Structure 1
Amino acid sequence: MSEVEELRARLRALEQENAALRRPQRRLSARSAIAGIVLVVAVLVAPIAAMGTWARLQLVDADRFVATFAPLAADPDVQDFVADQVTAAIDEQVDLDAVVGDLFDGLRALDLPPRAESALGLLQAPAASGLSSLIDGVVHDVVSSRQFADIWAETLRFTHERAVAILQDEPGTALQLGDDGVLSVDLGVVVERVKEELAARGAGFADLIPVIDRTIPVVQADALVLVRTVYQVAVTAGFWLPWVVLGLVVLGVLLAVQRPRALLWTSLGFAVVFLLLAAGMGIGRGFFIGAVSPSIMTAAAAGSLFDQLTALLGSTIVALALVGMLIAIWAWLAGSSRSASTVRGVVESGFGAVRASAEGHGLSTGRFGEVVDRYRGAILIAGMAIGVLVLLATRPVTLGAVIGVAIGLLVLAILVELIRRPAPSVAEPAAVLTREG
């Protein structure tokens, strides 16, 4: 009977501990207040960390910069914009009407018959128009060719290297940002390619096109006024700021009295701020297009430029919002609410039935299962920590990476539930001893 009394005493002690844990906290402790402040700061800094990482990848890494903007060479709106700019540059430097006029004046000096001279007058205007159409066609052919895509990529890389040198205040830089801060692509290379193509088609007037020094903007000036500051921040903090956010979250959750609840609201906060940031990008797109068109480029070209520039940032924001939602779901399941307890009970009953069926067929994990059961919480938390570290280490965070990590964690949780071998609860032997007594 002494063993029965001891078991009953242990049951009463456990019930008292549960009652103490469920007793509502009426006063906000200093520890909870500090935890709340730390977690709020982490949520507010998270979008800045995402933007800083994106800026670091786009502005510091030349390969990433070229990979972002190189596809624009195949965009029809961008091709039309570049072709129009090249044609306008040639027209400004070469007076086609004067060239055709000189040619026809030379023909008239040959003392042609009256009818032939009259015909020359009728042909002069169509000849000038045909020459202009020829140049326009060649320009569009060049701009839509693979050679132009290669020129575009090479020019982007060279422009990026010069821009980085400017942003880093390196002496002796050939390209200088103007007062309006426009970062531009040199059209001289494209014009030279057009001259080569015209010469290959037998257009002798190609030699009349001089060396043209003209640039077109790649990134609008108003953004680059901020880019210099963003670049410095990206270099110094773009890599470390996400780790700072992670550290703040860990610290805040450890300080919180109700850790699952703190993690739940923090994760929901992350999801909300990233969704708001995604909405802000949509609004920013409209402002960007309105700011650069039509004085800088067409609205279609500006839209293509903005979409290409922010494609990586947009996918990262969506991925991070999904991370927040997934962690919030896990925190809710780990909480003490009645609905979460019900869900956990159903899941544990299901896995318990599977384990019991396996043991009935002679399949048991034995001591290893008991160890897994003892450290089940630590294993799951370690898995989540590793998943978060993987996402931070493989930046930029993508939707595919988030889904992959989520599936990996789900598989880990299922394996833990199948492998673990729970020890008999205290209530079971107590109930048996009560029935025997």
Structure 2
Amino acid sequence: MNNSEAGEPLNATERAELERLRREVAQLRLDQGAERPAAAGVRPSRVTDHRAWRWTGAGVLLVLVAVLAFSSVLARYARGEVLDTDRYIQTVTPLAADPVLETELTNQITDQIMTRLDIQTLTAEALTALTENAPRVPPAVVGLAPVLADQAKSFVHETVGKFVASDQFEALWIRANRKAHEVLVAVMTGQTRAAVQIDEQGTVSIELAPIIDNVQTKLTERGFAFAEKIPEVDKSFVLFQSPQLVKAQRMVSALDKAHTVLPLVTLLLAAAAVWAAPKGSRRKAFSLVGVSIAVAMVLLAVAISIGRAIYLGDIPADVLSRDAAAAMIDALVLPLRTAVRAVFLLAVVIAAVGYLTGSSDSAAAVRRGFTRAVDAVRAPKTGRAPNPVETAVATYRIPLRVIIIAIATMTLVFWKYPSGLVVMVTILLAAAALLLVELVARPAMSSSAPAVGEAAPQIPGKSS
């Protein structure tokens, strides 16, 4: 008499044998199902053709899933960074303290001030007047004008640098970027007015006039007399420039309209791909859904890198230095790269779940190891009957799994801007909930199979 006949819990060896028998029975039933058409006068090749057609349909749907996953991430990015001003400001605010951007701004503002003041000419005129009115001053002092101009430029550069590194500049930076982004949104959504335009080069810039006005005040406070002669400056600092920006208006507008629908359509097509797969292969199809999404994210990551290289190669050096352009584009695409990593991680989890729940020997070995580990933690004490909670969880563990996975999926779909951290925490919480279900259900599952609605398998040709 074995443990099952004695009403005692199955040990690990017996449960492994039970699982093996169940797989054999399932395979026998599949084989018998494949033989029935032949017995009814239908050619076996038709069964093969039917499976091939189903895999073809599933394959087409998987390609569509990859394409829509690619588009969904771009759509959410377009909505979050290109058209959401508040989100954009959160992205570019840290750039106010970026050393590369600080240096670029300091150099450009200093050049604008020195160009408009022409301090060398003003100094030479002042020294010439001094020699004419003070006979004891030798005319040679006029030759000091270039030296004094260099000293003045260093003084201006230092003053500008201190201001650019101040909190006051950060406030101006945010205000200027907000105005520039509102212009961008107006262009990309087709709401351009005469006063709201981006040139043919697709240049998005911020005005330097408010910053130079503040620098002028700082120079005056430090006793730089020439500061009062600084004229009004109608100059802008280029944030980014791309001739394709205006051309992308229709695409961005379409992505904006589809940013909510695309993820839902992607989920529906993924479910359809799993359904379209032949019976017995749907877990494999589920795993392939994860693989297709992961491939789409890899392609999107490659596209981002290529686009970045093309942008840096096209922007003129006299408009924005390569280092400054790199800092700007890296900051702007950082949320997109974060989203790509997050979705890729989710796709890998989906593929792993599909594989581990499959019928391959390696997956079965992993599941046996997991079962042993859970048994080691929650093996029931001899003679103890499972309590009602354990029995209920064991009975409804499959619906509970579905609910947990559905909640995790909906969380990621409807989270406005899911970061890699959000995805990681969601996955870990879902995994912890699934593990809790297994731990709670284990005593009832180990006590006896019929207790949780799992009748012992019937071997064909043998009575029970």
Q: Which of 170, 191, 196 is residue 175 of structure 1 equivalent to?
A: 196
Deviations 1:63-91 (A, max 9, x none): 11111112112111111211222122223
Quick one: structure 1 residues 361 and 135, their matched pair in 2 at CA, closer, same or farther if it must change by over 3 Å? farther
Q: Where do 1:118-267 residues align within 5 Å? A: 118=139, 120-170=141-191, 172=193, 174-257=195-278, 258-267=281-290
How far did residue 119 of structure 1 move? 5.2
**2:145 maps to amino acid:** Q
Deviations 1:33-78 (A, max 9, x none): 3333222201122111101111110022111111111211211111
Report the counterpart of residue 40 of structure 2 in structure 1: none
Asked if the contact 1:365/1:419 (under 8 Å) is kept, the reply is no
Quick one: structure 1 residues 22 and 405, their matched pair in 2 at CA, closer, same or farther if it must change by over 3 Å? farther
Deviations 1:282-332 (A, max 9, x none): 333222211114242111111111211111111111111111111111111
Distance 2:83 2:427 in 1: 30
Deviations 1:223-277 (A, max 9, x none): 5234423431232012221121112112221232221010111211211221232
The answer to which of 187-196 and 398-407 deviates more is 398-407
Distance 2:108 2:116 in 1: 13
TM-score, with length taken from structure 1: 0.87
- 3-state secondary structure, aligned to 2:205: strand
Distance 2:79 2:22 in 1: 56
Distance 2:329 2:268 in 1: 33
Q: Which of 432, 447, 450 is residue 411 of structure 1 equivalent to?
A: 432
Q: Which of 343, 359, 364 is residue 386 of structure 2 equivalent to?
A: 364
Quick one: structure 1 residues 101 and 324, their matched pair in 2 at CA, closer, same or farther if it must change by over 3 Å? same
Report the counterpart of residue 294 of structure 1 in structure 2: 317
Structure 2 regions of 5+ residues with no counterpart? 1-20, 35-46
**1:20 maps to amino acid:** R
Structure 1 regions of 5+ residues with no counterpart? 1-11
Distance 2:154 2:163 in 1: 14
Distance 1:110 1:18 in 2: 111
Distance 2:23 2:428 in 1: 36
- 3-state secondary structure, aligned to 1:360: coil
Report the counterpart of residue 77 of structure 1 in structure 2: 100
Distance 2:353 2:29 in 1: 25
The answer to which of 321-330 and 392-401 deviates more is 392-401
Quick one: structure 1 residues 13 and 328, their matched pair in 2 at CA, closer, same or farther if it must change by over 3 Å? closer
Report the counterpart of residue 382 of structure 1 in structure 2: 403
**2:390 maps to amino acid:** G
**1:151 maps to amino acid:** L
How far did residue 166 of structure 1 move? 3.0
Q: Where do 1:389-404 residues align within 5 Å? A: 389-404=410-425
- 3-state secondary structure, aligned to 1:184: strand
Deviations 1:152-183 (A, max 9, x none): 11100111122222333336452311111211
- 3-state secondary structure, aligned to 1:151: helix
Asked if the contact 2:294/2:347 (under 8 Å) is kept, the reply is yes
Quick one: structure 1 residues 229 and 295, their matched pair in 2 at CA, closer, same or farther if it must change by over 3 Å? farther
Distance 1:193 1:312 in 2: 32
Report the counterpart of residue 4 of structure 2 in structure 1: none
Q: Where do 1:94-113 residues align within 5 Å? A: 94-113=117-136
Asked if the contact 2:204/2:241 (under 8 Å) is kept, the reply is yes
Asked if the contact 2:289/2:350 (under 8 Å) is kept, the reply is no
Quick one: structure 1 residues 349 and 129, their matched pair in 2 at CA, closer, same or farther if it must change by over 3 Å? closer
- 3-state secondary structure, aligned to 1:70: helix
Distance 1:121 1:16 in 2: 105
**1:232 maps to amino acid:** S
Asked if the contact 1:79/1:143 (under 8 Å) is kept, the reply is yes
Quick one: structure 1 residues 105 and 295, their matched pair in 2 at CA, closer, same or farther if it must change by over 3 Å? closer
Quick one: structure 1 residues 369 and 18, their matched pair in 2 at CA, closer, same or farther if it must change by over 3 Å? farther
- 3-state secondary structure, aligned to 2:133: coil
Count, aligned residues: 419
- 3-state secondary structure, aligned to 1:178: coil
Percent of residue pairs bearing the same amino acid type: 26
